[in-house]
Amino acid sequence: AMAQDKFKIGLILPMTGPFASTGKQIEAAARLYIAQNGDMVAGKKVELIVKDDTSAADVTKRLAQEMVVNEKVSVLAGFGLTPLAFATAPIATQSKTPMVVMAAATSAITQASPFIVRTSFTLPQAAVAIADWAPNNGIKKVVTLVSDYGPGIDAEKFFKDRLLFNGGQVLDSLRVPMRNPDFAPFLQKVRDLKPDAVYVFVPSGAGAALMKQFAERGMDKAGIKLIGTGDITDDDILNSMGDVANGVVTSHHYSASHNSALNKKFVAAFEKANNGLRPNFMAVGGYDGMRVIYEAAKASKGAGGEALLDAMKGQVFESPRGPMFIDAQTRDVVHNIYIRKVEKVGGQLFNQEFATIKDVKDPGKSR
Ligand code: DHB
């Protein structure tokens, strides 16, 4: 087919390095979406171009530039970490190319370019929900422990403000390096402060190391609970965490055990296509991002640029996570946030949803 007969999607992801699980989940989800929905859209052949940015922001930006200039992609997509999305935003703006953020979750990302649309989530959405749950469930004194970059700082701030508003107390706020974190000295500090709970944000993939050290330091035996956003009990690795994860309560927009016909179908198809790999919230961000791209391409009849962008705004649909929409003003995702507890189901650990906060907009946007 000739160039103009193709609809190219430039998918830039960390496929190697410490955040490779994010890339693997999103690529698998995008390929599943294409397998289920066909590789023709608006009369054009869909071409998915996947590039590994190794989670280095300068590489993400260079790859995006090449995709726009050389490949003439209609849309940029992926963005496994906040700094990678921020680095690429000027390319989207300058080239008028829609940029679908499928993973990164710092609130301010959508404000970095009018061409950004987000299908992942925001940390403030998740953080506020668990800060409402905690004080009603015996957790009044908390130490926060977050990865020291955008989403961690959002997770800390929005949790803290809401917990204080609800009459709780934050005894200390600890930040650990984002790359190669050693949690031990921070967990020791938490132990010494004797809070009711430690509230944690670490990016997808880092939760297992935190859990292991939490158990090794006997935090649970010292009576300190672990709570957090759902990034910590990430479905990609939850089942390998062992008993320490059992009973942990988190807030998030997606669980692989979400009880809907659509999700059951999604999980079964994803596992079948990927040697039994369980989809996590990254996979769902990628799958829904493809949905937004396909439907926008159809509605704008294969046009790119602003027409494609406009057709992404305001989309309302059922996701494997539950109902969601793209807020037309903010271009950010609106969806339910669920409170979940890790439980054993059929011998496997799952995040079992037990309460729902409906249609949550990003609390970061109203400030
Ligand atoms: C981000 C990355 C993650 O892996 C995650 O779980 C949440 C946020 C980020 O960099 O924005």
Mutate to test the pocket of ligand 1, among 153, 204, 252 (most ligand atoms within 8 A of CB): 204
Mean pLDDT of 119-133: 98
- Nearest-CA residue for ligand 1 atom 7 is 203
Give yes or no for residue 336 CB within 6 A of ligand 1: no
Which of 102-121 are b and which e, b meaning 16 or more Cβ less than 10 Å from the residue's Cβ?
bbbbbbebbebbebbbbbbb
For 253-264, letters b (16+ CB in 10 Å) and e give bbbbbbeeeebe
Same domain, 129 and 172: yes
Tokens 């967990």, located at residue: 187
Task: Between 302 and 166, name the one with better pLDDT.
Answer: 166
Distance 284 CA to ligand 1 centre (A): 14
Q: What is the DSSP string of 171-217?
A: EEEEEE-SSS---HHHHHHHHHH--SEEEEE--TT-HHHHHHHHHHT
Q: Please say whether the beta carbons of 203 and 281 come within 8 A.
A: no
Atom of ligand 1 nearest to the CA of 234: 6
Comparing CA positions, the residue from 200, 197, 196 lying closest to residue 152 is 200
Which pLDDT band holds residue 1 (cuts at 50, 70, 90)? very low
Going from the Cα of 86 to the center of ligand 1, the distance in angstroms, rounded, reads 13
CATH of residue 209? 3.40.50.2300
Q: How far apart are CA 94 and CA 140, in angstroms?
A: 48
The three-point CA angle 292-7-100 to 5° equals: 35
Are 315 and 355 within one domain? no
Residues 197 and 342 in one domain: yes
Query: What pLDDT does residue 14 have?
Result: 98
Please check whether residues 152 and 285 belong to one and the same domain: no
Q: Are both 202 and 350 inside the same structural domain?
A: yes
Same domain for 266 and 158: no
223 and 160 belong to one structural domain:
yes
The alpha carbon of 28 and the centre of ligand 1 are apart by a number of angstroms equal to 18
Q: Are residues 17 and 146 in the same domain?
A: no
Domain count, the chain: 2
Tens of pLDDT, residues 311-342 = 999 999 999 999 999 999 999 999 999 999 99
Are 102 and 126 within 8 A, CB to CB? Answer: no
Give 303's pLDDT tier (boundaries 50, 70, 90): confident
Tally of CB atoms within 10 A around 40: 10
What's the whole-number average pLDDT of the chain? 96
Q: Which domain holds residue 35?
A: 3-121+259-331
Regarding the beta carbon of 155 and ligand 1, being less than 6 Å apart is answered no
Domain co-membership, 36 together with 94: yes
| Closest C-alpha to 143, from 209, 208, 191 | 191
- Inter-axis angle of helices 150-165 and 82-95, nearest 10: 110
| 216 and 351 belong to one structural domain | yes
**CA 204–ligand 1 middle distance (angstroms):** 6
Q: How far apart are CA 80 and CA 111, in angstroms?
A: 17
Find, among 147, 149, 150, 203, the residue nearest to 174 by Cα: 147
- Closest residue by Cα to atom 11, ligand 1, is 104
ipTM, 2 dp: 0.99
Are 283 and 94 contacting, i.e. CB atoms less than 8 angstroms apart? no
CA distances from 210 to 152, 185, 250 (A): 14, 12, 15
User: Which pLDDT value is given to residue 2?
Assistant: 55
Could you tell me the distance, in angstroms and rounded to a whole number, from the CA of residue 3 to the centre of ligand 1? 34
Atom nearest to 281 CA in ligand 1: 6
| Pocket lining: 82 vs ligand 1, CB cutoff 6 Å | yes
Polymer length of the chain: 367
Summarised one tens digit per residue, pLDDT across range 51-108 is: 999 999 999 999 999 999 999 999 999 999 999 999 999 999 999 999 999 999 999 9
Confidence of residue 176 (pLDDT cuts 50, 70, 90): very high
Quick: pLDDT tens for 191-222.
Answer: 999 999 999 999 998 999 999 999 999 998 99
| Distance between CA atoms of residues 288 and 22, nearest Å | 15
CB of 257 shorter than 6 A to ligand 1: no
pLDDT tens digits for 18-33?
999 999 999 999 999 9
Tokens 């057709």 sit at which residue?
A: 311
Q: What is the full DSSP assignment across 100-166?
A: EESS---GGGGGS-TTEEE-S--HHHHHHHHHHHGGGGT--EEEEEEESSHHHHHHHHHHHHHHHHT
Ligand 1: residue of 82, 86, 122, 250 to mutate (most ligand atoms within 8 A of CB) is 82
Give pLDDT tens digits for 142-153: 999 999 999 999
104 and 73 in a common domain: yes
Centre of ligand 1 to C-alpha 282, Å, is 9
Whether 315 lines ligand 1, by a CB cut-off of 6 Å, is no
What is the distance between the alpha carbons of residues 114 and 122, in angstroms, rounded to a whole number?
17
Dihedral pair phi/psi, residue 154, rounded to 5°: -60, -45
**124 has pLDDT over 80:** yes
Range name among 24-28, 134-138, 207-211, 253-257 with the lowest pLDDT average: 207-211
Rounded Cα–Cα distance for residues 65 and 62 (Å): 5
Q: What is the mean pLDDT of residues 174-198?
A: 96
CA–chain centroid gap for 285, Å, is: 6
Which tokens sit at 266?
């999604």
Q: Does one domain contain both 229 and 155?
A: yes
How many Cα atoms occupy the beta-carbon half-sphere of 233 within 13 Å? 32
